[in-house]
Structure 1
Amino acid sequence: MQFVFPTHLQLANEQSDGFHQELLRGLTHKLNNLLAVIQGFSSLILMTDDLDANIAENMQHIREASVGVSNLSERVRGAGGCAKLQMQALNLNEYLGVVQTALLEPFTKSNVQLDADVQQSLPAINVDPGKLKDILVEILKNAAEAAAPVGGRAMLKIAGPGAITPAEQRRVDILVSNTGSTITPEKLQQVFRAFYGSKTSNHLGLGLTISSMLCHQMGVQIGIASENNTTTVWLSCPMA
């Protein structure tokens, strides 16, 4: 199986932890402060007892739009490679139980079967738990959405050192696969690019771009392969 990696994003560029990241972090912080004011005042106006129905509807739209921009701001920060991380040793076996509901939601919604093969007594990995959850949710959501239209299935496999990567590399590997379609080699080369995708306009095409940036910041390797009607995303996480 031939994996494609986001090397074209130049994640190891010397500027990746420099001026531009600090600038983007500061700008999104300022933007969120302004959005908080909009959200706060729109909420206060909506609490008015005798508020005209048309005004109330318009204010609700304003508030929802500001919340949407705030969420987008956080995604932009991640796409710029300047998300704030809280790295720690994480026990994956325990962690999966904590985030199970969020990870299974795309499959419940899409009515897609998810099979799991998780090795017991996995060694702890060094990651940001919240950011790892964001990455896993994005990848699993993509797998569910790809499998659903054609009655495909999905599989989550997690293995310790020596099972997939050599033991001396001290890495825990996470594989998310789905059946039902094959991504062409041409499209596979583009999947990590921002705003690239074949989904509806409601999707920004930032999911895998942000995931690859977060992986780079955490020292996690990410790759994708697609052949024989199966697509697989591979995360290789460093041991703590």
Structure 2
Amino acid sequence: MGVVNVTPDSFSDGGQWYDTDVAIAHARHLLTQGADIIDVGGESTRPGAAPVTPAEEAARVLPVVEALAREGAVVSVDTVNAATAEAVVAAGAQIVNDVSGGLADAAMAGAVARAGAVYVIQHWRGTPETMNSLAVYDDVVAEVCAELRDRVHQARAGGVRDHQIVLDPGLGFAKNAEHNWTLLAHLDALTALGHPVLVGASRKRFLSGVVPPALAAEPLARDHATTAVSALAAQSGAWAVRVHEVAATADAVRVAAAWRAHR
């Protein structure tokens, strides 16, 4: 899953793809590099990010979604808003990637159920403004799994079918580096919940602990670490990995697949 942030304030690329035509061109480039899915986002969810209105979000992402869908791409849209989800599925998106897992908008489950789209339910606590203060767990794996089960139950109550659901542990969302690494090391507990698992580690701050200290503050310097995480996640049974730099990760997951096939 290749990331295209149509935002002026993304932590990872600083608004590099904010222009519609540039975003479309970048998505095409990621597809040629081996992306199976393009995940388009119109609102930054980095810690401390301010929300945008659903109307502004839709204005950013809809032209990109429409163009890519016309070309046959599998498009996901990263949104917490039910109105945006309905609009992008109508425009050709096949996946709704909700980082709030339905907590931000109670209408999301019904919207996804009516649309029939794949629904990525991510674990989260709080909002981008408050989530860092909520990174408190006695057992992060057990608690994230329990909270995801609750989100799945609520989605089902809203009409979402099991075959639509993908789970995401929400690395970096109300989690510190130790929490993130622990969740990655126990992906089997997440896959045991019975749904495909999406891993989104790309360029996140916790990876700065495994890159040279002189580069630790630079998100792009975390791409090699992201590739390693992607290979290990694939080896551990992840359904997909969400990344900014596709080429090396595509190689990494193919290596993991070949490795598993010859065990």
**TM-score with structure 1 setting the length:** 0.26
Normalization by structure 2: what TM-score? 0.25
Larger strand fraction of residues: 1
Which of the two has higher C-alpha Rg? 1
Q: Which has the higher contact order (CA 8 A, sep 6+)?
A: 1
